[in-house]
Structure 1
Amino acid sequence: MDGLVWTKERREPRRRAPSVERFVTRAVAIADAEGVDAVSMRRVAKDLGSGTASLYRYIAGRDELLDLMIDAVQGEDALPAPSGDWRADLRECALRLRTLLLRHPWLGAELTGRPALGPNSLRWYDTVLAVAGTLTSDATLAALAVDTVTAYVLGAVGGEIAELQASRRTGMTEDEWRASVGPYIREVVGGGEYPHFARRVAEAGDVPAERSFELGLACVLDGLAARIPRT
């Protein structure tokens, strides 16, 4: 327990030293703009015009800083209290998580590892468990329902974020990328070796990310309704 940032007594900042909240806010801004790999104790302290030793006085290391960052962003948008309509409430939780992940593209990878245990993270999880509890009184099934919806959101949004990162990395918009690969795609389609892919190119329209997300989420919720008996 002594090693958890949440169990430590928070020191008061020295005169003119940035507060822990300012350090965390700056770290989140760096991660949003440049990726979480750009976040280091030295970089955060330097950006705030403080010595790295000052940051270590309040935060033991980068792992603690990441824990504080995760908890800070999960406290940005509080989830509404359960209404009793588990499907509508779980849908709303999923949509809010998607918004949060798109706002902070680095967050998804951090949430797929060890569980977040900060107060904001626990409050978020507790609320979603309460929502699932209106579907089933079985605590195990409720937790599995939450995990299933969360896994879907992380996977679906991960694809959206990958596209955004590809655009940033290549300097090409999606339309520009499509134009650049157009000749190759036409050659592949014309060869006749991949008929289902050719039909996809010829007949299937592009689906906006929001609509695709909503359709997948509806399928997940349909599955939960079918597999978990309402209690």
Structure 2
Amino acid sequence: MNQARPVLGPNAVRGLETTLSRLEDMGLSDPERVSVIIMVEGYVIGTARTQVHAIEAEKKTGITHEEFWKAQEPVLSRAMTSGVYPVMATLSEESFGPGFDHFEFGLQRLLDGLEVLVERRRTPSAAATSTKDAAERRP
């Protein structure tokens, strides 16, 4: 569904109100709070879209995710032993496997970055002091 121009009914406005109110104590400006919503929503929608595309591909082709990648294995093996992709050739097998939660990892990094900004805003004198100390230590 295209949300570039959402229809703003009572539930949509209520949802935005609820989300904005939860961001109120972060010390961010109004445009920054809206940007936080856009950023997190964009990340979630992008990840969900990838999952939907995978499901649609399986339905359209009748080939499961596992079957698809099994068929790609000879091509990947040749590429990884060619010497042309040395960094990719060193990746562990679990790099793309289901055992690592790429969504959770990415979301936590987004939230960690926001936390750094919020903490910097809450203690501006500490940030200024550490910047001043770092400048004084430079040769």
Match of 2:137 in 1: none
Code of the residue aligned with 1:221 in structure 2: it is L
Q: 5 Å matches for 1:1-231?
A: 107=1, 110-111=2-3, 113-136=4-27, 138-200=29-91, 202=93, 204=95, 206-208=97-99, 211-228=101-118, 229-230=121-122
CA distance in 2, matches of 1:188, 1:201: 15
After TM superposition, give the deviation of residue 167 of structure 1 in Å. 1.3
Code of the residue aligned with 2:41 in structure 1: it is T
- Aligned Cα RMSD in Å? 2.3
CA distance in 2, matches of 1:157, 1:192: 34
CA distance in 1, matches of 2:89, 2:63: 24
Question: Which ranges in structure 2 are unaligned for 5 or more consecutive residues?
Answer: 124-139
Identity of counterpart residues, as a percentage? 28
Work out whether residues 129 and 142 of structure 1, in 8 Å CA contact, stay in contact via their aligned partners in 2.
Answer: yes
| TM-score of the aligned structures, taking structure 2 as reference length | 0.74
* Highest RCO, 1 vs 2 (Cα 8 Å, sep ≥ 6): 2
Change (3 A) 1:212 1:116: farther
Change (3 A) 1:208 1:156: farther
Change (3 A) 1:176 1:220: same
CA distance in 2, matches of 1:176, 1:130: 46
Code of the residue aligned with 1:168 in structure 2: it is K
After TM superposition, give the deviation of residue 134 of structure 1 in Å. 2.6
Change (3 A) 1:152 1:116: farther
CA distance in 1, matches of 2:40, 2:93: 33
Change (3 A) 1:215 1:131: same
Going by fraction, where is helix more abundant, 1 or 2?
A: 2
After TM superposition, give the deviation of residue 200 of structure 1 in Å. 2.4
Work out whether residues 156 and 213 of structure 1, in 8 Å CA contact, stay in contact via their aligned partners in 2.
Answer: yes
| TM-score of the aligned structures, taking structure 1 as reference length | 0.47
CA distance in 1, matches of 2:96, 2:59: 25
After TM superposition, give the deviation of residue 230 of structure 1 in Å. 4.2
CA distance in 2, matches of 1:203, 1:223: 26
After TM superposition, give the deviation of residue 204 of structure 1 in Å. 3.0
Match of 1:46 in 2: none
Question: Which ranges in structure 1 are unaligned for 5 or more consecutive residues?
Answer: 1-106
